[in-house]
Amino acid sequence: MFPTFKSKNIISTGLNNNSLRDAGFIFYPNPASESFTIKANGSNRATDVFIYNATGQMVYSNNLLNELVIDVSNWSKGIYFIRAEETTTRIIVH
């Protein structure tokens, strides 16, 4: 299954994570080597989070209520795309 990118999605072109911040989420660190955290910034809504590798394969999915700590220590180095709600941004794993 490949991610769908609708015209209202925002895809980061740098290491800036403003697009998720604008949607009410924060994530750090970026780049990541062992793990990274996604937090719902002041929201108590449950949100599905999907992460895709550069070829479009889903490598992670979970439901975020307040905070997720995602272990990436076994992931291949590269660029990954995080999708939460209608927003997509990228993270680098090194």
**Structural domain boundaries in the chain:** 18-93
Better-predicted residue by pLDDT, 45 or 66: 66
The answer to whether residue 11 scores a pLDDT higher than 50 is no
- The pTM of the whole model exceeds 0.85: no
**What pLDDT, on a 0 to 100 scale, did the predictor assign at position 43?**
64
**What pLDDT, on a 0 to 100 scale, did the predictor assign at position 24?**
80
Over residues 14-62, the pLDDT tens digits come to 444 456 777 788 889 999 999 999 998 776 678 999 999 999 999 999 9
Better-predicted residue by pLDDT, 19 or 9: 19
Q: What are the strands of the beta sheet with 78-84, ordered from one edge?
A: 58-64, 47-52, 78-84, 87-93
Q: What dotted CATH number matches 18-93?
A: 2.60.40.3080
What is d(CA 27, CA 16) in angstroms, rounded to the nearest whole number? 10
Instruction: State the average pLDDT over residues 50-75.
Output: 96
Environment class of 20 (CB within 10 Å of its CB; exposed 0-12, middle 13-18, buried 19+): buried
Better-predicted residue by pLDDT, 22 or 89: 89
CB atoms within 10 A of CB 80: 21
